[in-house]
Amino acid sequence: MNKTPEIIIVGGGFGGITAARKLKNTGWNLTLIDKKNHHLFQPLLYQVATAALSPGDIAVPIRGIFSKDDNIRTVMDKVLSIDAENNTLELENGENLSFDYLVLAPGAVYNYFGNDDWKKSAPGLKTLGNALSIRERILLSLEKADRIDHPEKRKPYLTYAVIGGGPTGVEMAGAIAEISKRNMMRDFRNLSTDETEVYLVEAAGRILNGYPESLSEKAKQDLEGMGVRVLLNTPVKEIRKNGVVVSDSFIETPNIVWAAGVKTAPLLQTLSADADKMGRIKVRPDLTVPGNDHIFVIGDAAYVEDDDGNPLPALAPVAIQQGKYVAEQIKERVKGRDIKPFSYVDKGSMATIGRAKAVADIRGFKFSGFFAWLLWSFIHIFFLIGFRNRFRVFAEWIWHYITFKRGVRLITNSGKERTEED
């Protein structure tokens, strides 16, 4: 190839950002497209939803990451469709961009399994907007409860239901239990912490599926120790504005968080490539789309099996390693060469349950309790992009650890507020 290659990366998550960083010194024209203007450190999003961190602590503007890299252009827009024949894609503002290599890292969206009307009552936790609306829902609910004297009447406002027992669900349930059982309650003297109920609803037989069984059990015990009611083998029948219908009972609450399942971004369907039931593209060993050597799919959007034939989990480390791989692969392709297939190095998985509580499985070594939490904290702070955030988040955490206080309990854009503005 004689002309300098045009590379387009779709998605500013862990996979897309990593790929872009690895290609920034090539001098090739690289365009990074994302609907949002910021890269989000998703693993800590639940901490924004529970008022421990500010949005600014866990997100950085994508432009800021590449402001010194003249060959990287940042575009804030939505990709509508991909034309694999003519190597072009169409943006929402009508613009068409052409590419020699395309890296698709659009991530995933929450999957309501056809019940999209549940979305309103049970927001997922994927964007800062989600996290802020969950935060406000919880805070407003406490304010409401504080105004109601009759214990039975206020009970729903002190009840929380988290749907889905994966890492996000476990972290949310743990964090909500913390604030509702301790931190927040000091500010609501009318309310007693015994009144609050936190449910973690899981359809399968155990939480943290995909983690070693012993850690699932440990996590369940820890959560129950914090007062969380873990409901296993309990599929959700219906979600209403005022509560969740499970197998045999009704959990009455306006505070519902959806962490039950994800599907890939709709964009990928325009590829008309073979996908699994979650919509993840079944890529080839070099992470390209069958029949398109120059189109890669990585991260939550890609279906890749490990050596035992199990699909790789939708975790940051997978996306990061795949981002590195495609960057290398593209460099070789340009030279007309090729590198060996992608293989994932499992550095272990972990989930935090609450203050000084976590579970971790590092290459077969299983930790839990304070040490696992410490490990979790350091790894997560360490991987935050940008010193500024690292520094702030660290300060925040030290502060919380000492004071038990929640930093950012602000209700900024409630419905009331919006009508005031418009």
Pick the binder of its own copies from 21, 26, 29, 35 (CB under 8 A): 35
The CB-of-59 to its own copies minimum distance in angstroms stands at 5
| In contact, 406 and 400? CB cutoff 8 Å | yes
Strands 38-40 and 59-61, sheet pairing: antiparallel
Size of the site for its own copies (CB under 8 A): 56
The CB-of-112 to its own copies minimum distance in angstroms stands at 13
Pick the binder of its own copies from 21, 29, 64, 366 (CB under 8 A): 64
Query: What is the rounded distance in angstroms from the CA atom of residue 96 to the CA atom of residue 88?
Result: 7
Q: Decide if 252 is catalytic.
A: no
Phi first, then psi: give them for residue 248, nearest 5 degrees. Answer: -120, 0
3-state secondary structure of 258: strand
Q: Identify the active-site residue in 171, 178, 197, 202.
A: 171
Pick the binder of its own copies from 188, 195, 269, 284 (CB under 8 A): 188
* Residue 37 contacts its own copies per CB under 8 A: yes
* Residue 149 contacts its own copies per CB under 8 A: no
The CB-of-110 to its own copies minimum distance in angstroms stands at 10
* Residue 147 contacts its own copies per CB under 8 A: yes
Name which of 119 and 347 has its Cβ closer to its own copies: 119
Query: What is the rounded distance in angstroms from the CA atom of residue 339 to the CA atom of residue 352?
Result: 37
Closest CA to 40 of 163, 121, 130, 137: 130
Residue whose pair of structure tokens reads 């069984």 in the numeric block: 213
The CB-of-339 to its own copies minimum distance in angstroms stands at 32
Site for its own copies in 269-288 (CB under 8 A): none
State the Rg of the chain over Cα. Answer: 22
Query: What is the rounded distance in angstroms from the CA atom of residue 399 to the CA atom of residue 151?
Result: 33
Among the listed ranges 230-238, 263-271, 291-299, 388-396, the one in contact with its own copies (CB under 8 A) is 388-396
Pick the binder of its own copies from 218, 263, 355, 409 (CB under 8 A): 409
CA torsion, ordered 115, 38, 128, 270, to nearest 10 deg: 0
Which ranges of 43-89 would DSSP assign to H, the alpha helix?
45-49, 55-58, 62-65
Query: What is the rounded distance in angstroms from the CA atom of residue 308 to the CA atom of residue 225?
Result: 35
Site for its own copies in 228-257 (CB under 8 A): none
Pick the binder of its own copies from 245, 339, 374, 395 (CB under 8 A): 395
Tell me the helix, strand and coil percentages in the chain, rounded to 5: 40, 25, 35
Name which of 31 and 234 has its Cβ closer to its own copies: 31
* Residue 394 contacts its own copies per CB under 8 A: no
The CB-of-359 to its own copies minimum distance in angstroms stands at 30
* Residue 411 contacts its own copies per CB under 8 A: yes
Q: How many helices (DSSP H) and strands (DSSP E) are in the chain? A: 13, 25
Retrieve residue 306's tokens: 């490990």
Q: Which residues are catalytic?
A: 171
Residues that bind its own copies (CB under 8 A): 35-38, 54-57, 59, 61, 63-64, 67, 70, 74-77, 93, 95, 119-120, 123, 127-130, 132-133, 139, 143, 147, 186-189, 388, 391-392, 395, 399, 403, 405, 407-413, 416-418, 420-422
